[in-house]
């Protein structure tokens, strides 16, 4: 046994040594190869770069696609601005030769413990190399190259030159590359005028521009800023008094209020998408000479811009056109000092087809003609309200969607179930927070919400017969030698059945015909639409106004609001709908929705619908005036056949004697005729009456024989006769004055 253990330990030792030798050989060979790589000095010192972006006809998009148009000289920056970055990013910057080996060792240990490459321990020099010479992939080979090139660049430039180049290439979020553009965007001043706390804010952002955004995540930004200030205090760059005064101060943002269309331009959105596709920052895309080919349609872009400008709205706005066949963004425009596609807004009633009506149709829970009681109600401690606190009684699912009535939507969501509804939403590109678990979802009540690309993309599912594929700006990307490096292949997935989708489309066409989007009704094209308005809590003002409309070929989404939540006076059925109308008046679109063969027309009994709010198919005896044509899927047809006009039920009569009169009360139906005979003579005939009726018969003798006949007005041969005898005598007490 001891001999076995001895040999086992020897084998393990040899195995470990072999791994270490192999690893050492790999590291050394990779390092030597990296040392021979040439550093592109033009990339390091270039103050301005541009990316070539093309439309669907391979013509250059004329938006400004420049990156780093402004450059800050190191000599113009204050010492504390430089110190803020050094304290948080690389304390030994002026002492090392490009690499901090102690930090690397510590990071390696932490990475081994976590099992992930979470820490990089990069110096400022290494970050400069990573942002200008290498990709952003987290691999050991790239890290070795980064170390080798960092050592090389330290021999080529002074520390101040390296720091200057670094500060002019790092990304600060919101399209800000370099400290000069960041300073002018966040604080409306040149970088040379930055204060200590402002410098700390910018130094804190660069670790994760999204997580530490001073616009979207102010609490995170404050914590990070204060950490930078603490490190500056520890490094004796600021006094304790300065530290105390700054950590208790608010974020002193002074955003550039000039609405920068480049921030929300089509080309910028495509460039942002390219960063995600390629996994490298925009500056590297420009440096590598990549060419981005998009789905932009020049005419549709022009028509969309004109349609929005014609409404002359005084708030932030965005519009998007999606090619439903190619799953590409044909046009996009945004107007705000913030990046609109990075923001999420409450969708309001525009979420109803996605989470409520679409799933309910697909789960065979409703028909378009299903009756829902619109009344004051509470479901799981949630008490929804209709606009103006107006309630309509029984309404069809079609009407409740077309007119955007809230209570039926909440009730139908309860039929579907919140979790199942969210699954449908996720299949259509909508993301939810873990707290999105209440029936407020039926009305668009989400923790964060959606952006216009997500919401419009979800609606393109309906135009596409129930198939969803995430829409993109980019069609393909080539390198500087025109070699294809990326091609968009839409991955369609089935969300709704074709029959369910057609029924939903038909319901949303009713929104155009007589609902909240009726301003589109004279377009003379087959178009479906939904509006949404998000009100400001405890106010008569609004925060968001939406219209999402689609034909078979294209989806048009419009949003109006303010990303700083300043109220607006617009509603979804007004200005956003008019923008959609203006757009479709300019563009030629004669497409029609696909109708599956399983869609069928059936006649239903309107008497049953009005009286009992149930969907019954007609029999062949019901007259035309009492039938209604509706569309159904062959896979989900009503199972009940109406018995109206095939038999007649006994009328419920209330009878009594009072003041020498026989009193008969009953609820009349307008499709029945009622004849009352007294002693075999017609006393009264009632027809085309609804509601409670009262018949009074004088009792002039001790006994009257009354016959009560009811029959269908349009089918008198089918009737029901009830006979009653009334006795007028003082011998009977009041409760015994009549008998049948």
Residues recognised as catalytic: 89, 349
Q: Show the DSSP H helices in 430-522 as ranges.
A: 452-463, 498-513
Inter-residue contact 443 to 386 (CB < 8 Å): no
Specify the pairing of strand 661-668 against strand 715-727.
Answer: unpaired
SS3 label, residue 721: strand
Residue tagged 């209570």 (tokens)? 407
Return the bridge partners of 721, or none.
709
Q: What tokens appear for 653 in the block?
A: 């009569």
Measured distance CA(647)–CA(472) in Å, rounded: 60
713-721, Cβ contacts within 8 angstroms, sequence gap of 24 or more: 713/671, 713/672, 713/673, 713/687, 713/688, 714/623, 714/625, 714/645, 714/671, 715/621, 715/623, 715/645, 716/673, 718/645, 718/646, 718/647, 718/648, 719/648, 720/648, 720/649, 720/650, 720/651
Query: Which residues does 292 contact at the CB level (< 8 Å), separation at least 6?
Result: 51, 52, 53, 54, 270, 271, 274, 285, 474, 477
The 3-class secondary structure across 89-146, one letter per residue, is HCCCCCCCCCCCHHHHHHHHHHHHHHCCCCCCCCCHHHHHHHHHCCCCCCCHHHHHHH
SS3 157: coil
Distance CA(566)–CA(523), nearest Å, equals 33
> C-alpha angle with apex 30: 25 to 32, nearest 5 degrees?
95
Distance CA 550, CA 459 (A): 8
Tokens representing 698? Answer: 């004088």
Give the strand pairing for 52-54 and 291-294. Answer: parallel
Burial class (CB in 10 A: 0-12, 13-18, 19+), 392: middle
C-beta pairs of 587-592 under 8 Å, 24+ apart in sequence: 587/299, 587/300, 587/303, 587/554, 589/525, 589/551, 589/553, 589/554, 590/525, 591/526, 591/551, 591/552, 591/553, 592/526, 592/552
Q: Left (φ > 0), alpha (ψ -120 to 50) or beta: where does 570 sit?
A: beta
Q: CA–CA separation, 359 vs 415, rounded Å?
A: 10
CB 210 within 8 A of CB 203: no
Nearest alpha-carbon partner for 693 in 667, 713, 722, 724: 667
Rounded alpha-carbon distances, angstroms, from residue 676 to 207, 665, 688, 711: 89, 12, 15, 12
- Dmax (CA) for the chain in angstroms is 128
Beta bridge mates, 681: 678
Q: Is 465 exposed, middle or buried (0-12, 13-18, 19+ CB in 10 A)?
A: buried
3-state SS class at 191? helix
Are 269 and 332 in contact, with CB atoms under 8 Å apart?
yes
Rounded distance, CA 273 to CA 267, Å?
A: 10
Rounded to the nearest 10 degrees, the angle between the axes of helix 406-416 and helix 418-427 is 90
Angle (nearest 5°) at CA 284 between 281 and 288: 145
Tokens of 340: 């609109």
């Amino acid at each position: 046994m001891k001999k076995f253990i001895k040999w086992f330990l020897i084998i393990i030792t040899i195995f470990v040594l072999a791994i270490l030798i192999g690893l050492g050989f790999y590291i050394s060979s990779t390092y030597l190869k990296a040392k021979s790589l040439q550093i592109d000095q033009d990339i390091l010192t270039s103050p301005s770069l541009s990316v070539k972006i093309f439309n669907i006809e391979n013509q250059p998009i004329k938006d400004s696609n420049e990156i780093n148009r402004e450059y800050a000289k190191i000599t113009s920056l204050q010492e504390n601005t430089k110190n803020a970055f050094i304290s948080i990013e690389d304390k030994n910057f002026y002492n090392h030769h490009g690499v901090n080996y102690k930090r690397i060792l510590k990071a390696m240990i932490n990475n081994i413990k976590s099992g992930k490459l979470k820490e990089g321990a990069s110096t400022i020099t290494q970050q400069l190399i990573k942002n200008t010479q290498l990709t952003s992939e987290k691999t050991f080979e790239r890290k070795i190259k980064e170390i080798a090139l960092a050592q090389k660049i330290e021999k080529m430039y002074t520390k101040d030159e390296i720091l200057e180049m670094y500060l002019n290439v790092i990304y600060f979020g919101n399209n800000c590359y370099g400290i000069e553009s960041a300073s002018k965007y966040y604080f409306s001043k040149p970088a040379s005028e930055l204060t200590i706390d402002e410098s700390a804010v910018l130094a804190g952002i660069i670790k994760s521009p999204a997580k530490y955004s001073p616009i979207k995540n102010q609490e995170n930004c404050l914590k990070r800023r204060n950490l930078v200030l603490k490190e500056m205090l520890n490094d004796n760059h600021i006094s304790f008094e300065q530290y105390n005064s700054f950590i208790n101060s608010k974020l002193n943002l002074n955003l550039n209020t000039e609405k920068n269309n480049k921030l929300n331009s089509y080309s910028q959105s495509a460039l942002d998408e390219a960063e995600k596709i390629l996994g490298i920052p925009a500056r590297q895309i420009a440096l590598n000479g990549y060419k981005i080919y998009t789905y932009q349609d020049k005419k549709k872009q022009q028509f969309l811009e004109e349609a929005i400008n014609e409404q002359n709205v005084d708030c932030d706005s965005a519009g998007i056109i999606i090619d439903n066949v190619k799953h590409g963004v044909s046009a996009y425009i945004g107007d705000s000092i913030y990046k609109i596609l990075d923001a999420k807004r409450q969708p309001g009633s525009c979420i109803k087809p996605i989470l409520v009506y679409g799933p309910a149709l697909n789960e065979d829970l409703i028909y378009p003609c299903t009756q829902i009681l619109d009344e004051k109600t509470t479901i799981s401690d949630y008490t929804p309200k209709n606009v103006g606190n107006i309630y309509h009684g029984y309404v069809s699912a079609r009407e409740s969607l077309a007119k955007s009535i809230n209570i039926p939507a909440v009730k139908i969501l309860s039929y579907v179930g919140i979790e199942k509804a969210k699954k449908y939403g996720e299949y259509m590109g909508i993301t939810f927070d873990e707290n999105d678990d209440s029936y407020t979802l039926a009305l668009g009540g989400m923790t964060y919400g959606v952006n216009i690309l997500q919401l419009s993309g979800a609606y393109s599912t309906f135009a596409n017969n129930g198939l969803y594929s995430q829409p993109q700006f980019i069609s393909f990307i080539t390198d500087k030698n025109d070699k294809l490096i990326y091609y968009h292949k839409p991955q369609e997935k089935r969300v709704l059945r074709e029959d369910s989708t057609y029924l939903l489309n038909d319901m949303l066409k009713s929104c155009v015909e007589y609902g909240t989007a009726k301003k589109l009704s004279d377009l003379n094209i087959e178009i479906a639409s939904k509006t949404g308005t998000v009100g400001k809590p405890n106010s008569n003002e609004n925060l968001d106004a939406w219209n999402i409309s689609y034909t078979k070929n294209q989806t048009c989404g419009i949003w109006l609001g303010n990303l700083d939540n300043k109220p607006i006076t617009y509603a979804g059925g007004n200005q956003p709908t008019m923008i959609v109308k203006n757009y479709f008046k300019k563009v030629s679109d004669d497409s029609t929705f696909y109708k599956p063969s399983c869609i069928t027309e059936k006649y239903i009994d309107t008497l049953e619908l009005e009286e009992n709010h149930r969907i019954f198919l007609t029999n062949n005896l019901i007259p035309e005036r009492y039938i209604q044509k509706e569309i159904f899927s062959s896979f989900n047809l009503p199972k009940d056949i109406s018995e109206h006009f095939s038999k007649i039920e006994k009328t419920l009569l209330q009878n009594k004697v009072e003041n020498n009169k026989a009193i008969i009360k009953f609820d009349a139906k307008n499709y029945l005729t009622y004849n009352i005979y007294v002693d075999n003579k017609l006393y009264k005939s009632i027809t085309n009456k609804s509601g409670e009726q009262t018949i009074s018969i004088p009792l002039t003798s001790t006994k009257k024989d009354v016959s009560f006949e009811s029959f269908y007005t349009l089918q008198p041969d089918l009737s029901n006769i009830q006979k009653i005898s009334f006795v007028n005598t003082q011998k009977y007490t009041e409760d015994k004055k009549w008998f049948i």
